Amino acid sequence: MARPDKNTRNAQILDAAFRMLDEKGFSGLSMQAVARAARASNETLYNWYGDKTGLFSHLIAQNTGALRAQLDALPDQPPLDQLAAFGPLLLTMLLGPRAIALNKAAAADDSGTLGPALAAAGRDTVKPWVEEVMARAIADRQLGGGSAQTLAETYLTLLIGDLQIRRVTGAIPPLSEAQIAGRAGRAIALLEKIFPPD
């Protein structure tokens, strides 16, 4: 029987780690337990991820990497059309079980290291892309009345609001595709009202 390649093996390990993170939280996540669950050696986990925090960073990268690939695959369209495609993708990822497990772990982390790691691989990589789209929207006179940074911050606030926090705390159930699409559409409609073209 052929051995799986490194990419396949990495995906199997990260899947096992996500399951454990979801079930036991970050404090219940151990490199040895993940190795057992993924049928991998402890040596492989330590060589590939360094330690538990390194493994957590890889979990974040896998979750946000899928979104980045979808962003890169978006067709070259007018800026607001790109946002219309982007909004549901972002909300689906942010409100999905993996992102919720990652956010719960970061919220419960006493060391203060997981939150910054989550922000660096998440918002800090997505927001510049949104700012680029906003700059084009301003240049194309689809939006106006503010800087690309202000428009991006406002859009992300309108799109996400407190949904992720409410999902993390269990205050709301998962959103349906229709609810996500409706929220994304409303965010753009409100953005156009707040920042009409000059």
Q: Give the pLDDT of residue 2.
A: 52
Token pair in block for residue 146? 């503010």
> For residues 101 and 16, is the Cβ–Cβ distance under 8 A?
no
For residue 124, the model assigns a pLDDT of: 85
Phi, psi dihedral angles at 102 (to 5 degrees): -65, -45
What pLDDT was estimated at residue 1?
Answer: 46
| pLDDT confidence of residue 64 | 84
Following DSSP, what letter does each residue of 100-148 receive, concatenated? Answer: HHHHHHHHH-SSS-HHHHHHHHTHHHHHHHHHHHHHHHHHTTSS-SS-H
Residue with tokens 């409609």: 189
What is the per-residue pLDDT for 38?
Answer: 93
Q: pTM for the whole thing?
A: 0.87
Low-confidence ranges of the chain (pLDDT < 70): 1-4
Of 3.30.160.250, 3.90.226.10, 1.10.357.10, 3.40.50.10800, the CATH number of 53-194 is 1.10.357.10
Residue 180 near residue 88, CB atoms below 8 Å = yes
Spell out the domain ranges in the chain.
Answer: 53-194
What tokens does 189 get? 């409609």
Query: What pLDDT does residue 100 have?
Result: 93
- What would the pLDDT profile of 99-114 be if each residue is shown by its tens digit? 999 999 998 888 888 9
Record the tokens describing residue 183, joined without a space: 């929220």
Distance CA 173, CA 171 (A): 7
